[in-house]
Chain A
Amino acid sequence: MDKFTTLTGVAAPLEIDNVDTDMIIPKQYLKTIKRTGLGAGLFSEMRYADDGSPNPDFVLNKPAYSKARILVAGDNFGCGSSREHAPWALLDFGIRCVISTDFADIFYNNCFKNGILPIKVSPEDLEKLMDDARRGANATLTVDLLAQEIKGPDGGTVRFEIDAFRKHCLIEGLDDIGLTMVEAGAIKSFESNAASARPWN
């Protein structure tokens, strides 16, 4: 997993609440054996017309946002299906940070497994960042995970909270498996007690 420390890039405004994972990456893209290449299907229903041509009104099709690294989105982002293709598609497009007031739990967890930083901010801060993102190519934000700060184009700063451990894993590019293996002893002893705790299992 790639490390995440700071990220500077164009932020695209996606002013929609309840963006679901079917919307992020529809089922027709899920049969791929590879995890790369999904960026082409990102937001496909909104992004392309019926004949496959790009919809010029969709934010990521606008020249100013075609290289967006950050997404500023409405409440409850990532709801619905547990498909991890959603963060894979974002990553493949080049987006490594999503900012919203709240995220659906499964999507939120999936992001951290793939080096994407999901940032929760207050509705007031989201409005401020959405304003920044609306400025097109000038909408450059800098996300500093170490300092837990988002710096806007005008020098304004938004602080954000994140679990210390998840932060540590992103910064170091660690995945859970290695950390879990450290607990092998505890797992083993739990396991031997589990049989007597739940004999019906």
Chain B
Amino acid sequence: MLLLAGVLLAIYWAPEDADQGFSQKIFFIHVPVALTAYACFGWAAWKALRLLLKGDERHDLESYTAVHMGVIFGVLTLATGSIWAKISWNTWWTWSEQQLVLFLVLFLFYSAYFMLRFSLEPGRQRANISAVYALFGVVLIPVSFLAIRLAENFIHPVVFTRDGPQMTTTMFVSFLVCLAGTLALAAALYLNELAGKRIDSRLRELREALL
């Protein structure tokens, strides 16, 4: 099944290279990756909610894996955004790029998720606490976004204006293809990671049963 997903990805990713001729081509990587990271965090929160309401332990691993993927895509967003900033504004970091700052905050927040998770004993309580954490994260996204937008007023009195990518139909279509490709990549990685983690926990159970 994973192989199938991989083949699908290759098909999805192939036309993307053809689009690289466009100006601001990094847009096609950066924005889908960012959206995918949001999707991962949203998925993690959804699974966390399911865990808290239904009490089904398997949602814990799913939520954890989704956060894992979200952080990876978050780092990619930071990296590509930083490269983009270097190209367009000749600086590696700019505090006036709201998405970038938001991702830094989210990245810090979700990185602490792992610290918290690994400091707890495996079990019901760890599952619950991780779930609550993932839920807070997804609420934090819009609140932080609002906060960063508000902060612009006193940190940067001059609003940074730039002309966004001109969206022609072809660009929009290829953007959608890239988005679908990135989402598919995330889904494949998610399933792969989930399978790995399931085997891992199953193995641990077996080992404990043996001893």
Q: Do A and B come from one complex?
A: no
Question: Which residues on A are within 8 Å of B, measured CB to CB?
Answer: none
Question: Which residues on B are within 8 Å of A, measured CB to CB?
Answer: none
